[in-house]
Amino acid sequence: MKMYFSQSSRTNRTLTEKEIERNALLSDLEKTKKALEIAYAGFDNVTEPDLIDCYIYELNSVMKRYKFLLEQAAALSLLPEESTHSAPLSTETPAASLIG
């Protein structure tokens, strides 16, 4: 018994450039959120002054990247309306909160 499968049942839909950009941005946001969680966990668990400095720089770096990606997502209207207006992103860096 032979079985034939029709190609019309499957749609070979290619992603547009905008969809690729959107997916890449959302993926970068997820990776950055995970990196931020890891940096905070590392910061919470070190006691050496040099490592504390290292994690402060890492946290500042990841926060700047996260802020940039959120601004890009907002520009593409990827963020829900309530998240863009209800809780503004804090511009205070982790180092500033430790110092003062």
What is the structure's pLDDT at 51? Answer: 94
Q: Does the pLDDT at position 76 exceed 90?
A: no
Closest CA to 28 of 70, 64, 56: 70
- Determine which helix (DSSP H) or strand (DSSP E) holds 66, and give its type and residue range: helix 49-75
Average pLDDT over residues 9-29: 82
Cα separation of 69 and 62, whole Å? 10
In this structure, which amino acid lies at residue 92? E
Residues 6+ apart with CB under 8 A from 79: 70, 73
| Positive or negative torsion for Cα 57, 92, 78, 87 | positive
**Higher pLDDT residue, 100 or 4?**
4
Cα separation of 60 and 64, whole Å? 6
